[in-house]
Amino acid sequence: MKEKYSRGELSKEILKGLVLGGFIAVCFVAPNFAQVAKLFDARNSNDRWRLRRTLFNLTKEKLVKTSYNKKGEEIIKITGDGSRRVLKYKYTDLKIPVPKKWDKKWRLVMFDIPEVHRKERNALTSKLQDLGFYPLQKSALISPHECRDEIDFVCEHLGIREYVNYFTLIKPENEEYLRQWFNL
């Protein structure tokens, strides 16, 4: 388990698992912690201790809470703060899926974000460049891959959806240069 999860990664995976359907809450009902340990490939007592310590720290940070049912079985649930942390992880880990075959369409993201939202505007520009967009202008970036869902998620996360427009283009003016840039 030590090689599989670096520092902080185990917490991240536990929180993601809770958001995806509470698999840990179901597993913790089982006696002796065995199912959870198996889920995270905890093979020895050190791994199981690390898993328990991580869950204790998540509880201490109020990202998860522990409760007990009538049978005295421990149930772990994610809190609102934990859900927000998972959204932050999703934002950080966001990637645009690259299809095997290009559909010969271009995706243009344009925005006109007021100065009061300068931090969000800079964050959007930075995120789009991290996602592989090419900047045509300061507020117009282009990509050859379908990414409407990812752009919607980024805009909702930053709270600037109303200022951002998404277009699908067939043949932009500088297509040859863009094809070279994206190796198409």
Taking the C-alpha atoms of residue 19 and residue 86, their distance in angstroms, rounded to an integer, is 8
24-to-31, 47, 108 alpha-carbon distances in Å: 13, 16, 41
Boundary (domain end) residue, out of 67, 92, 117: 92
- One domain for residues 128 and 85: no
Residues 116-141 have pLDDT tens digits of 999 999 999 999 999 999 999 999 99
Contacts of 3 (CB under 8 A, 6+ apart): none
Last residue of a domain, one of 34, 60, 92: 92
Residue that finishes a domain, picked among 92, 127, 153: 92
H-assigned helices in 40-79? 45-60
Is residue 75 domain-shared with residue 20, that is, in the same domain?
A: yes
Domain that holds residue 117: 97-181
- Does residue 77 sit in the same domain as residue 107? no
Same domain, 104 and 79: no
Question: What's the total number of domains in the chain?
Answer: 2
Which helix (H) or strand (E) is 107 found in, with range? strand 106-111
Question: Does 101 lie in the same domain as 87?
Answer: no
Q: Are residues 80 and 106 in the same domain?
A: no
pLDDT of residue 41: 63
Q: Of 166, 160, 12, 164, nearest to 93 (Cα)?
A: 12
Residues 55 and 74 in one domain: yes
**pLDDT tens digits for range 56-108:** 888 888 888 877 777 766 677 778 888 788 888 888 888 999 999 999 999 99
Residue of higher predicted confidence among 29 and 160: 160
pTM value surpassing 0.75: no
The Cα–Cα gap between 91 and 156 comes to 11
- Cα(48)–Cα(42) distance, rounded to whole angstroms? 6
**What CATH number does the domain containing 119 carry?**
3.30.70.240
